[in-house]
Amino acid sequence: MLFDDLKSANADVWRAYTHHAFVEGMADGSLEEASFRHYLVQDYLFLIHFARAYALAIYKSRTLDEMRAGLDGVKAILDVEMGLHVQLCGQWGLTPEDIEGAPESRATLAYTRYVLETGLRGDLLDLHVALSPCVIGYAEIAERIAGPTGRTNDGNPYGIWINEYAGEAYQSLAADARTKLDTLAGGPVSSTRFDDLSRVFSQATRLEADFWQMGLDCAD
Amino acid sequence: MLFDDLKSANADVWRAYTHHAFVEGMADGSLEEASFRHYLVQDYLFLIHFARAYALAIYKSRTLDEMRAGLDGVKAILDVEMGLHVQLCGQWGLTPEDIEGAPESRATLAYTRYVLETGLRGDLLDLHVALSPCVIGYAEIAERIAGPTGRTNDGNPYGIWINEYAGEAYQSLAADARTKLDTLAGGPVSSTRFDDLSRVFSQATRLEADFWQMGLDCAD
Amino acid sequence: MLFDDLKSANADVWRAYTHHAFVEGMADGSLEEASFRHYLVQDYLFLIHFARAYALAIYKSRTLDEMRAGLDGVKAILDVEMGLHVQLCGQWGLTPEDIEGAPESRATLAYTRYVLETGLRGDLLDLHVALSPCVIGYAEIAERIAGPTGRTNDGNPYGIWINEYAGEAYQSLAADARTKLDTLAGGPVSSTRFDDLSRVFSQATRLEADFWQMGLDCAD
Amino acid sequence: MLFDDLKSANADVWRAYTHHAFVEGMADGSLEEASFRHYLVQDYLFLIHFARAYALAIYKSRTLDEMRAGLDGVKAILDVEMGLHVQLCGQWGLTPEDIEGAPESRATLAYTRYVLETGLRGDLLDLHVALSPCVIGYAEIAERIAGPTGRTNDGNPYGIWINEYAGEAYQSLAADARTKLDTLAGGPVSSTRFDDLSRVFSQATRLEADFWQMGLDCAD
């Protein structure tokens, strides 16, 4: 699969992202709450731009099926995930005002604009490769740290997050996203094309690691 | 309202569009069925690109409210209107295969790509001004030819089309679209800006009139 | 070569464009002068949007070499060709005011916006495929109608046009444009990708034929 | 002037950028050479994307004059500044290979993609406002630290940089850029529009300050 090739070609940066200290802190519950709260707020702002990225995917589509897939992405974010996010934030003592009024951190801005600009410069495959470290990476991270039995009752304060992304619904969504990359590629890609996509994948993965770091540091 | 100013500044081209022979033929029922069928098929292809235009509107939005409004537009087309359109086509003896396999006519291509390119070149207001002759013009046309009592039972074969766009739901949608132009403008626009928007409005209106003509001529 | 494959896959529409009555009228000198003048004026407006397309190519580039190639395209049009065009128009009795004040015809608008929107929706290869019927087609047309000895002294009023595009400088530019498509493709393309590119090529070629027809008909 | 209003509305972030420690270190010659070299290399990568931004400005233009202004920007960067930059780097012991092979730092990526994405999302004025902290800010910074008599002979190793941007040619270019913002606005802007532009200006200015910081820290 194209995704596996991209991961292999960027093994170090992928590991730095998927095994980031923020992730390990969620895994063993040692992550500072302030870091998680900071992350949650920025993740809300991030979602807004991810909805814009899926809207761009609709615009860039060449078939009705691709358009409907993009629409599912926008709906999932604007109609469902943002509401859930506000709820989750509430459980951590954050009001809607805390979230909506928060200034966008550098890491949020850098990653989201990189994804969007990559999608505008290139084609639909470029856009989905730029989205893949987030969409597919979260599934991989959560599955690993959930372990074979999940986190449902282990008292880890980050269990909700882990179980959400380790759950069947999200794992299935991520599996679809992997398949989609191959569908969009329409067959093996040339080495020039692979190098271009690998550069996009590498940058996007690095920017995702920066996003964890921003959470850890409560950085603006 | 900005929309009224645009209409006044382009009165001739607006009248040529809203009183086009195709429209008058629907009004008195004299339009050839073949012309209406040709129009219906192209209107389906048109909808696909209009969904792309609303997706572009989501991407270009600056607020969550604007994003949700764009999403409503994409949903309305992809989730509802395209299905209704296939039904309507069925009533006129057209199969889904007739519709989906049809080649895009010049008039469809010209109008849709003009709208999309205008939206990409300019901002969200440019995009909505390019969409307005369609969105708002259909409401104005249908209201006029429906007359004060509507067409429900007059035996006009085009009564379904007329009542659809003269109906409350569509009239309200068009009224919102008029208001939205002023909201997006955020106050009176400079004369340079008005001239630019007026040029967009004029071209888009002319391309809508060409769309009627394409139907009338069953042109490819 | 990719270009040859695209031509073979669209042989009929390619022949309709390259052997259009406007072309044959230039070849034997029988074309009405009014048609040529109408064409010249629209070709000037066309050049403005072609400069925008090359600017888009710079924006979409992934290497400095590609950027410089795009810049050469913009410079050639804005710094050289538009001036030559005004001169040529002058020889046919058209003043700069005639040219700059002319309204854009439907055919000009349809082709230019299709090229630009295709480039924005897809990637740099999509953009160059959309440009290729113009850039490469003109060279093929002129070479054929110039014949082995050229048109320099045969009294054909359209000899200047023919010799310009049959000349070594333009032929070499067109040969580069053919090579560039293969470079951008970076190897054989998948059948899905080829079908997409072929659709773009077919539409762009049809819109070029429409451009000749617009000249022939002095259509607005 | 619009630029002055934007500066006033963002006085703190503007001062943090224009009086950044990197700037003060150039002013008194105390800046570490390694920091300056790091900055020089990233500034080269930055220029590539700035050329793309001016290409985008050509694409977005509505008049030939605007297109020619954008072309001047692309030419200045690709035909002149990048060569000068390689020369300047050479004087600091950096080879062309050092420069071209360097990985893009986070700060370079964040600022350049923010500018480009802002230009694509909005219109030509949004794009130029996003460029203005760089284009106009460098002139303001250099003029201030050059002082009334310039730095020509004071032995400051950064005198070349300071005099370049404090020089008449660059100061005049920056003055034009200020005027251009008002021309593009076409008159007073609405308060909604001003708020949007002010947010763009604020973010772009903050990202410019981050660019200095990246140089200071030799950060990747």
Query: pLDDT value at position B197?
Result: 97
Query: pLDDT value at position D98?
Result: 86
- Tell me the CA distances in angstroms from C105 to A23, A192, C115, D26, D157, one per residue in order: 59, 40, 16, 56, 59
Residues of A in contact with D104 (CB under 8 A): 203
Give the chains touching C; criterion: ≥3 Cβ pairs < 8 Å: A, B, D
In chain D, % of residues over pLDDT 70:
100
Give the angle subtended at the CA of D40 by the CAs of D34 and D45, to the nearest 5°: 130
CATH code of residue B143: 1.20.910.10
Which residue range is the domain that position D174 belongs to?
A: 2-217
Kindly determine whether residue D62 and residue B196, on different chains, have CB atoms separated by under 8 Å.
yes
**pLDDT tens profile A145-163:** 998 877 777 889 999 999 9
Kindly determine whether residue C121 and residue A59, on different chains, have CB atoms separated by under 8 Å.
yes
Residues of B that are catalytic: 134, 208
Query: pLDDT value at position B148?
Result: 83
Distance from chain centroid for Cα A52: 14
Kindly determine whether residue C67 and residue D52, on different chains, have CB atoms separated by under 8 Å.
yes
Residues of C with CB under 8 A from a CB of D: 48, 51-52, 55-56, 58-59, 61, 64, 67-68, 70-71, 74-75, 78-79, 116
**pLDDT tens profile C57-85:** 999 999 999 999 999 999 999 999 999 89
Residues of D in contact with C58 (CB under 8 A): 51-52, 55, 58, 74
Kindly determine whether residue A78 and residue B56, on different chains, have CB atoms separated by under 8 Å.
no
Q: Find where tokens 């109408």 sit.
A: C38
- For residues A94 and A120, what is the distance between their CA atoms, to the nearest angstrom? 34
- For residues C85 and C79, what is the distance between their CA atoms, to the nearest angstrom? 11
- Note whether D131 and D53 are within 8 A (CB): yes
Q: Indicate which of A47, A54, A58, A72 best probes the interface with B, i.e. most B CBs within 10 Å of its own CB.
A: A58
Kindly determine whether residue D61 and residue C52, on different chains, have CB atoms separated by under 8 Å.
yes
**pLDDT tens profile C120-136:** 999 999 999 999 999 99
Instruction: Point out the catalytic residue in the list D89, D140, D143, D208.
Output: D208
Total domains present in chain D: 1
Asked if the model's pLDDT at residue C150 lies above 80, the reply is: no
- Note whether C194 and C7 are within 8 A (CB): no
Out of C59, C75, C78, name the one closest to residue D52 (CB).
C59
Per-residue pLDDT of chain D (220 residues; tens, 9 = 90+): 999 999 999 999 999 999 999 999 999 999 999 999 999 999 999 999 999 999 999 999 999 999 999 999 999 999 999 998 999 999 989 998 889 889 999 999 999 999 999 999 999 999 999 999 999 999 999 999 998 877 777 889 999 999 999 999 999 999 999 999 999 998 888 898 999 999 999 999 999 999 999 999 999 8
- For residues A195 and A197, what is the distance between their CA atoms, to the nearest angstrom? 5
Q: Indicate which of A192, A199, A200 best probes the interface with C, i.e. most C CBs within 10 Å of its own CB.
A: A192
- For residues B96 and B78, what is the distance between their CA atoms, to the nearest angstrom? 15
Chain B nearest C-alpha distance from A121 (Å):
13
Out of B59, B67, B71, name the one closest to residue A59 (CB).
B59
What is the length of chain A?
220
Q: Indicate which of B109, B121, B127, B210 best probes the interface with C, i.e. most C CBs within 10 Å of its own CB.
A: B109
- Tell me the CA distances in angstroms from A35 to A95, A205, A216, one per residue in order: 17, 20, 5
Asked if the model's pLDDT at residue C152 lies above 80, the reply is: no
Residues 6+ apart with CB under 8 A from D65: none
Kindly determine whether residue C48 and residue D67, on different chains, have CB atoms separated by under 8 Å.
yes
- For residues C49 and D32, what is the distance between their CA atoms, to the nearest angstrom? 48
HSE value, Cβ hemisphere, 13 Å, CA-based, for C7: 15
Kindly determine whether residue A67 and residue B58, on different chains, have CB atoms separated by under 8 Å.
no
Kindly determine whether residue A75 and residue B71, on different chains, have CB atoms separated by under 8 Å.
yes
Per-residue pLDDT of chain B (220 residues; tens, 9 = 90+): 999 999 999 999 999 999 999 999 999 999 999 999 999 999 999 999 999 999 999 999 999 999 999 999 999 999 999 998 999 999 989 998 889 889 999 999 999 999 999 999 999 999 999 999 999 999 999 999 998 877 777 889 999 999 999 999 999 999 999 999 999 998 889 898 999 999 999 999 999 999 999 999 999 8
Query: pLDDT value at position D154?
Result: 81
Q: Is the pTM of this model over 0.90?
A: yes
Residues of C in contact with A59 (CB under 8 A): 121
Residues of C that are catalytic: 134, 208
Residues of A in contact with B68 (CB under 8 A): 78
Residues of D in contact with A204 (CB under 8 A): none
